Structure 1
Amino acid sequence: MRAERLLNIMFLLQNRDIVTTERLADELNVSRRTILRDMDALSLAGIPVYALRGKHGGWTILESFKTNLSYLKPEEIHALIASPSDKVLKDLGINKGTIDIREKLLSSLPESDTVKTRIFWERIYIDTGTWRESREDTTYLEIVQQAVLENRKSTIVYKKLNDQESERTVEPLGLVAKSNKWYLIAKHENHFRNYRVSRIVSATILDEAFKRPTNFHLINYWEESKTDFIRRLPEYVVGVEVKSTMIPRMTFTSKFIHSIDTKQISKEGWTHVSLTFNDKQEAIEYILGFGNQIRVITPENLIEELLDSAQAVIRLYESF
């Protein structure tokens, strides 16, 4: 623990001009006395740390004591600084430690690059979560992760969307985090499959190892899989006219909007909009939610079903 703390002190001193004893003690969760002993130890080990007296004093380190990573381009350094979300790292069992790994990276940069990179770090934040986080069951994530890293076959019981469960033996090849959801990519019966980890209700690692396919590349596979999935999604396109005042509400999310024709605005203030849904029922529920602020143009058979649904709602409330 002390060796790690001494390294962390060096990283912090290399990144900052002057750091007080109190600040170091606070960031490393130790006492001021411990920091003073650590400074003596660093000095005895030949690390050029020294104290500056006065109101704005503190600890510093000689500027020449740097590890140079100048062979990295600025954009490459920024890519390293854009660290994955804490949740993803936590799911994988990775402890970021007392000192952020980015502090260690900054300590290895020349001063000119350190300033620019710290500005990027402090002003760019990547949030991979969703607005309303849903709690995914990751009970078996640790097990499948171990199987992936050790190239060992596993038996999983998987629950499909219809709640039917089936047991299968797979060759785990990789894990992908998509927003707040984890997917296991595995080979089953000579085919690559995607399994949502939250639907795995049982997982057992087998003693039998497997040989990883030489032609498999996780990132390429996932991107191709996403493209194929989107292409196969069902589509139900509806042409509507919407009161222009409702456009901001509809465009708050682009989930259903296919296109908005602002050139076709009538005198009454209706705008033509093309909406794309997964199926007819989804279209009916969405359109009814706008009441008399939206009217269907195509397909014509949807109008009759909307009338039936609206009348069913009226009858429901009349019965009370």
Structure 2
Amino acid sequence: MRADRLLSILLLLQVQQRTTARELAQRLEVSARTIHRDMEALGAAGVPIVAERGVGGGWSLLEAYRTSLNGLNEAEVRALFLAQSGRVLNDLGLRQAADAALLKLQAALPGSARHDAEHARARLHIDGAGWGQSAEAVPLLPAVQAAVWADQQIRMVYRRADSTAVERVASPLGLVAKGSIWYLVAAVDDAVRTYRVARIQRAEPTGAACVRPANFDLAAYWEHSKAEFRANLPQYHATLRTDATSLEYMRALGRYARVLSAEPAGDAGMLRVEMLFEGEQHACEYVLGFGSRAEVLAPPALRALVLETARQVVARYEQPSGG
């Protein structure tokens, strides 16, 4: 609708200060000619729009023409700009609407509040897809969060996966929520590292300010870190025989089991599926979860393991109940 487009143009000009008709046309998916007509309509309505020609020119608003959103404190601004999950919004088809809403809010915020919003978005990233773990206690999350907001170094005692405790002086760069699991991204010894917040046993401010690496992007770092984690997982290749319905579920199930390819297996409705697993035991448990709907074709060792495990299950259930 034209009214929505005119409002979007107005808000874009407030956020970006100056933009060209071509940029607006691309952003709003209309022609440059339509944008020029919209600018005439805004001008006729009394909006002080200025057109500058030449290199570096474009459309802009007079500096005095601003809107203001009053009554929001710093915590409320942070909450508004962080209360979103990219994956959920994409699944619901609401990503574009969410971006438009944030643009409107950003345009209406006064300068100091806009800084608070940008500060929060640079330091907290929400990743809604969990690793599969249940929620865990994070008693030191408030202390870590305070250090992240204040850009202040902390001295922490961290329990590694092998249960050994180490002491580190860390410059907190941001927090990431991976499903129900919290991670701290911090600079330690000139390297950016990731720490599970539940394993932090002590966290105390040092009084020193942390220095953020130039152009550090928390979301980009996290995506790169996830890709490296997946690439370094043990990879066990197996070939299965299954039906189309089970294949769809396999693709949705996902966790550390990846469908590489699928092609007709020769039988009506059956498919030959190439997959990657963490390891042999994981592949065995995965296949058994599909019962008679999945059959291992290769490797022979996995087929033998599934058969032997199935026999043990049958033997267990043939015995009288221990209860």
Q: Which residue of 2 aligns with 1:189?
A: 189
Distance in 1 separating the partners of 2:107 and 2:213: 39
SS of 1:225 mapped into structure 2? helix
Q: Is the 8 A contact 1:242 1:272 kept in 2?
A: yes
Equivalent positions of 1:295-314 (< 5 A) are 295-314=295-314
Distance in 1 separating the partners of 2:244 and 2:179: 33
Q: Which residue of 1 aligns with 2:241?
A: 241
Distance in 1 separating the partners of 2:220 and 2:231: 17
Change (3 A) 1:104 1:303: closer
Structure 2 spans left out of the alignment, 5+ residues: 1-9, 16-23, 29-79, 86-100, 110-125
Q: Which amino acid aligns with 1:169?
A: V
Q: Which residue of 2 aligns with 1:69?
A: 11
Tell me by how many angstroms 1:141 deviates.
2.2
Change (3 A) 1:74 1:133: farther
Change (3 A) 1:171 1:267: closer
**Superposed CA offset, 1:149-173 (max 9, x none):** 3333212222333444433222222
SS of 1:185 mapped into structure 2? strand
| CA RMSD, Structure 1 to Structure 2 (Å) | 3.9
Q: Which residue of 1 aligns with 2:156?
A: 156
Q: Which residue of 2 aligns with 1:289?
A: 289
Equivalent positions of 1:144-293 (< 5 A) are 144-214=144-214, 216-244=216-244, 246-255=246-255, 256-262=257-263, 264-267=264-267, 269-293=269-293
The percent identity for this pair of structures is: 32
Q: Is the 8 A contact 2:172 2:210 kept in 1?
A: no
Distance in 1 separating the partners of 2:148 and 2:138: 15
Distance in 1 separating the partners of 2:278 and 2:140: 31
Answer with 1 or 2: which has the greater Rg. 1
Change (3 A) 1:153 1:305: same
TM-score calculated relative to the size of structure 2: 0.55
SS of 1:223 mapped into structure 2? helix
Tell me by how many angstroms 1:212 deviates.
3.7
Equivalent positions of 1:22-171 (< 5 A) are 69-71=11-13, 72=15, 83-85=81-83, 105=105, 108=108, 129=128, 134-171=134-171
SS of 1:143 mapped into structure 2? helix
Tell me by how many angstroms 1:277 deviates.
1.2
Tell me by how many angstroms 1:195 deviates.
0.8
Tell me by how many angstroms 1:235 deviates.
1.3
SS of 2:139 mapped into structure 1? coil
Q: Is the 8 A contact 1:257 1:273 kept in 2?
A: no
Q: Is the 8 A contact 1:171 1:187 kept in 2?
A: yes
Tell me by how many angstroms 1:210 deviates.
4.2
Tell me by how many angstroms 1:241 deviates.
0.9
Q: Is the 8 A contact 1:130 1:180 kept in 2?
A: no
TM-score calculated relative to the size of structure 1: 0.56
Q: Which amino acid aligns with 1:182?
A: W
> Across the two proteins, how many residue pairs are aligned to each other?
221
Tell me by how many angstroms 1:246 deviates.
3.2
Distance in 2 separating the partners of 1:312 and 1:129: 38
Distance in 2 separating the partners of 1:247 and 1:160: 37
Q: Which amino acid aligns with 2:271?
A: T
Structure 1 spans left out of the alignment, 5+ residues: 1-67, 88-100, 110-126
